[in-house]
């Protein structure tokens, strides 16, 4: 069994590689990643020398290179994590999101058609459903909720989802799609809410909360997401969409306060800044389908997962300090100075 994992040098892809290599030592894992600002080879240090692992620096949009890799590796399964993933960056520069998230997905699926595979799995997001109102806690996203996107990021992911389903119907490509809620855990790039707040709090820097901080996200520990994808690959039905989430809705302001408390930092570090454009109010996943059909349930409670995550950032300062010492400084200045 050979699996190509695209975007495996990023946050969720790397955690997925660790999960799969531990659980299936006889599988061959090929990580295809172009190492954008979000990809870090140091993340994959622990598996780099393993015999059943190969890292290939490649852009999923590079058709010729992708076809060559498929010819060489003859993969059984493709799991597509590769994407531009940050909403704020998509507001500044939508173009690269369309290229990687839509065109890149199309190139991968064309390679799948040309060389034949058992499964193409698209890692999507709950953001394709748009947002839910705060005053209707009874409403959750199901797989039948209409696509209704807000940001260039979510629109590019939704376009890719539609393309994946079209390749299934038109060409009979054996696809599956998962739509997960917000992940947290080790190796998340420090531009995203939780690691950004941990890094800033540790440096006694301001904690920039967009608007009032009342927006709600549905948080899932990254390992639970990886286990769900593993289940979908092995037991999920071709042509289906599966929502993934653990019923853990929290307001941003409560997350940031919790991080302050855990690190013994004053909440006076919190600074309410100009809101994100088009900011989605609330995400909430109904995971009934994946539970009933595949028996998936989240295993890590938020109270435990956030402790593990904070401890990981404390124990692995070198990993994220190296990242934030480079180009990230310019990004941070542009995004947060004068906000």
Q: Which residues are catalytic?
A: 126-127, 153
Choose the one of ligand TYD, ligand NAD, none that binds residue 246, judging by a C-beta under 5 to 8 angstroms depending on kind.
Answer: none
Binding partner selected for residue 287 from ligand TYD, ligand NAD, none, CB under the kind-specific 5 to 8 Å limit: none
Smallest distance from ligand TYD to CB 182, Å: 5
* Cα 13 to Cα 15: distance, rounded to the nearest angstrom: 5
16 touches, from ligand TYD, ligand NAD, none (C-beta below 5 to 8 Å by class): none
Q: How far is the CB of 268 from ligand NAD (least distance, A)?
A: 28
Q: For residues 31 and 80, which CB has a smaller minimum distance to ligand TYD in the complex?
A: 80
Provide the minimum distance between the beta carbon of 190 and ligand NAD in the complex, in angstroms, as a whole number: 11
Q: Which is nearest to 101 in space by CA: 180, 5, 184, 7?
A: 7
| Nearer to ligand NAD among residue 104 and residue 269 (C-beta) | 104
65: tokens are 């290179």
Q: Which does 7 bind (CB under 5 to 8 A by kind): ligand NAD, ligand TYD, none?
A: ligand NAD
**Tokens in use for 268?**
């006076």
Minimal distance, residue 251 CB to ligand TYD, in Å:
9
Q: From the list ligand TYD, ligand NAD, none, pick the one residue 233 interacts with, judged by a Cβ distance below 5 to 8 Å according to partner type.
A: none
Nearer to ligand NAD, 77 or 180 (CB): 180
Residue whose CB is less far from ligand TYD, 155 or 252? 252
Judged by the rule CB under 6 A, the positions of this chain that interact with ligand TYD are 87, 182, 192-193, 196, 208-210, 215, 217, 252, 276
Contact criterion met (CB below 8 Å) for 125 and 179: yes
User: Least distance from C-beta 35 to ligand NAD, angstroms?
Assistant: 5
SS (H, E, C) the chain: CEEEEECCCCHHHHHHHHHHHHHCCCCEEEEEECCCCCCCHHHHCCCCCCCCEEEEECCCCCHHHHHHHHHHHCCCEEEECCCCCCHHHHHHCCHHHHHHHHHHHHHHHHHHHHHCCCEEEEEEEHHHHCCCCCCCCCCCECCCCCCCCCCHHHHHHHHHHHHHHHHHHHHCCCEEEEEECCEECCCCCCCCHHHHHHHHHHCCCCEEEECCCCCEEECEEHHHHHHHHHHHHHHCCCCCEEEECCCCEEEHHHHHHHHHHHCCCCHHHEEEECCCCCCCCECCECCHHHHHHHCCCCCCCHHHHHHHHHHHHHHCHHHHHHHHHCCHHHHHHHHHCCC
Return residues touching ligand NAD (CB under 6 A): 6-7, 9-13, 33-36, 38-39, 59-61, 81-85, 100, 104, 123, 125, 157, 180, 182-183, 189
Q: How far apart are CA 104 and CA 163, in angstroms?
A: 11
Q: CB under 5 to 8 A by kind: which of ligand NAD, ligand TYD, none does 180 bind?
A: ligand NAD
Residue 82 binds which entry of ligand TYD, ligand NAD, none, with Cβ cut-offs from 5 to 8 Å by kind?
ligand NAD
Cα 18 → chain centroid: 15
Question: Which residue number places its CB atom closest to ligand NAD?
Answer: 10
8 vs 195, which CB is nearer to ligand TYD?
195
Q: Using alpha carbons, select from 123, 57, 121 the residue that is nearest to residue 85.
A: 123
CB of 14 to ligand NAD, least distance (A): 8
By C-beta, is 8 or 269 nearer to ligand NAD? 8
Nearer of residues 31 and 87 to ligand TYD, judged by Cβ:
87
Nearest approach, Cβ of residue 320 and ligand NAD (Å): 12
């Amino acid at each position: 069994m050979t699996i190509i994992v695209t975007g495996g040098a990023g946050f969720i892809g790397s955690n997925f590689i660790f999960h799969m290599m531990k659980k299936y030592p006889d599988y061959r894992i090929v990580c295809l990643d172009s190492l954008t600002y979000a990809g870090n080879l140091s993340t994959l240090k622990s598996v780099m020398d393993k015999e059943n692992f190969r890292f290939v620096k490649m852009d999923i949009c590079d058709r010729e290179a992708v076809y060559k890799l498929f010819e060489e590796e003859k993969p059984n399964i493709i799991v597509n994590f590769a994407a531009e993933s940050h909403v704020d960056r998509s507001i500044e520069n939508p173009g690269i999101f369309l290229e990687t998230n839509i065109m890149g997905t199309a190139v991968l699926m064309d390679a799948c058609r040309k060389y034949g595979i058992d499964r193409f799995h698209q890692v999507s997001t709950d953001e394709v459903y748009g947002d839910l109102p705060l005053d209707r806690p009874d409403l959750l996203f199901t797989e039948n909720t209409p696509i209704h996107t807000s940001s260039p990021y979510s629109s590019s992911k939704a376009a890719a989802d539609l393309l994946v389903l079209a390749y299934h119907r038109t060409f009979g490509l054996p696809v599956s799609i998962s739509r997960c809620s917000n992940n947290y855990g080790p190796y998340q790039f420090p531009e995203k809410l939780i690691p950004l707040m941990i890094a800033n709090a540790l440096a006694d820097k301001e904690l920039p909360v967009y608007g009032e901080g009342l927006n709600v996200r549905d948080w899932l520990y990254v390992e639970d997401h990886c286990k769900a994808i593993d289940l979908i690959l092995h037991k999920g039905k071709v042509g289906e969409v599966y929502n993934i989430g653990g019923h853990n809705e929290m307001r941003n302001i409560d997350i940031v306060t919790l991080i302050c408390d855990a690190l013994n930092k004053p909440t006076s570090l919190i600074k309410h800044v100009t809101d994100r454009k088009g900011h989605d109010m609330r995400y909430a996943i109904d995971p009934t389908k994946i539970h009933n059909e595949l028996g998936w349930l989240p295993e890590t409670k938020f109270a435990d997962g956030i402790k593990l995550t904070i401890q990981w950032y404390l124990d692995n300062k070198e990993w994220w300090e190296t990242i934030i010492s480079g180009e990230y400084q310019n990004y941070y200045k542009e995004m947060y100075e004068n906000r």
